[in-house]
Chains A and B, each alone.
Chain A
Amino acid sequence: MVTKRRASPPPEAYLPLPPATFHILLALADEELHGYAIMKDVAARSEGTVRLCPGTLYGALKRLLAARLVEEGGERADPERGDERRRYYRLTQLGLSVVRAEARRLDAMVRAARRKKLIGVRPA
């Protein structure tokens, strides 16, 4: 039996990403994490300017799972916290392409702002 596979839209079709979504994908770019670890990573990287709370975080994760940008990586206890089992999330290949495309888009915007001398020149 031949099954039809739905082709994913190109990464650019998902752009621009909402800031919270970009931060979540960025947090998952190099390792799989559970919800609280994502939250802490985002808060640390943004120096506290982006604070994800449970509703916003899991709402975004639900959408990312539905869009197949993120997938579940199983349940296990966090060795650092050593308590209940937690669900881990990781980027899919599509998710990685999307976060890369968004990073490139933002980089182009920052370079344009720099050319206009709206922000400082990049240090050598």
Chain B
Amino acid sequence: MSAERIYRLLLRAYPPEFRAEYGREMVLLFRDQCRDGDVRTVGFWARVLWDVARSAPALRAEAWWTPGRENTRTLEVIMKLAAMLTVLGGVLGILNAGVEWGAALTGTIGGMHSLSLVLGVFASALLLAAGAAILRPTPRGRQAGRLALLASLVLFIAARLLFPWMSVFSQLVGIGLPAAFLIALYWPSKATPSGAV
């Protein structure tokens, strides 16, 4: 197998978009290196392997985090799954509040508990609406989703403060889910100029 063929195989470690843009140039450069250096030495191949091992993962990571690149489809799938999970969380929250309400009607129910149940129902409905809004791939849908998530988070925290015996599952769904989603929605959009080079 020729040195160039081996190098072409090694190029597969790079992201497809990068290969499409610079693959030909890299092969030309490698050909020049082979012409001017001794391709049969261990040192030459050690340098080539070290270069691929060092630069390919970094470029893959960049491709993953850069919006509008090959990661877009994967991110969209993740966002859709998370949005569906949020819808499911909202439905479960409403059902849970309904069951608790039904159980409470048979016995005694405090004013704070009933208020926290009402808040929980509203927060779950907002969670459901947020999931549905994020499923719509428009900036307006995403913005509405963010607002609904924030409102849902505030209501759940208020319900938790009013009713400290809220189950761990409810807290996880009601507080953890919107908080994680809000972080995911805001996180990837920052890049500094020095990070760009």
Residues A86 and B197 in contact in the complex (CB < 8 Å), given A55-B56, A59-B55, A59-B58 = no
Q: Which of A9-17, A103-111, A113-121 contacts B (4 or more CB under 8 A)?
A: A9-17
Q: A55-B52, A58-B25 are in contact. Are A81 and B197 (CB under 8 A)?
A: no
Q: Which residues of A contact B50 (CB under 8 A)?
A: 53
In terms of DSSP, what is the predominant structure of the interface of chain B?
helix
**Which residue of B55, B192, B193, B194 is within 8 Å of A55 (Cβ)?**
B55
**Interchain CA distance A87-B29 in the complex, whole Å:** 11
Nearest residue (CB) in B for A69 is B197
Smallest Cβ-Cβ distance to B14: which chain A residue: A55
Q: Is A76 an interface residue (CB 8 A)?
A: no
> Is A46 at the interface (CB under 8 A from chain B)?
no
The answer to whether A81 and B25 touch across the interface, beta carbons within 8 angstroms, is no
Are A62 and B51 closer than 8 Å at their CB atoms?
no
CA gap between A59 and B52 in the complex, in Å:
11
Question: How many of chain A's residues touch chain B, expressed as a range?
Answer: 20 to 34
For residue A56, which residues in chain B have a CB less than 8 angstroms away from its CB? 51, 54-55
B residues 1-36 with Cβ under 8 Å of A?
14, 18, 21-22, 25-26, 28-30, 32-33
In the complex, the answer to whether A55 meets B47 with C-beta atoms within 8 Å is no
The yes or no answer to B59 lying at the interface (CB within 8 A) is yes
Instruction: Label chain A's interface by main secondary structure.
Output: helix
Within the complex, which residue of B18, B29, B47, B194 is in contact with A57, where a contact is CB–CB below 8 Å? B29
Q: How far is the CB of A39 from chain B (nearest CB, A)?
A: 7
Please give, as numbers and ranges, the residues of chain B lying within 8 Å of A63 by CB-CB distance: 196-197
- Are A36 and B58 within 8 A (Cβ)? no
A49-105 contacts to B, CB under 8 A, are 51, 53-64, 66-67, 69, 81, 84, 86-87
Question: Is A18 interfacial (CB-CB < 8 Å)?
Answer: yes
Pair A35/B197 contact, Cβ less than 8 Å = no
Chain B residues lying within 8 Å of A87, measured Cβ to Cβ, are 25
Cα A67 to Cα B192 in complex, Å, equals 10
The residues of A that contact B55 with a CB separation of less than 8 Å are 53, 55-56, 59
Give bound CA distance, A32 to B58, whole Å.
27
8 new A-B contacts at CB < 8 Å, known A13-B194, A35-B25, A67-B193: A35-B29, A36-B28, A39-B29, A58-B25, A64-B197, A67-B197, A84-B28, A87-B25
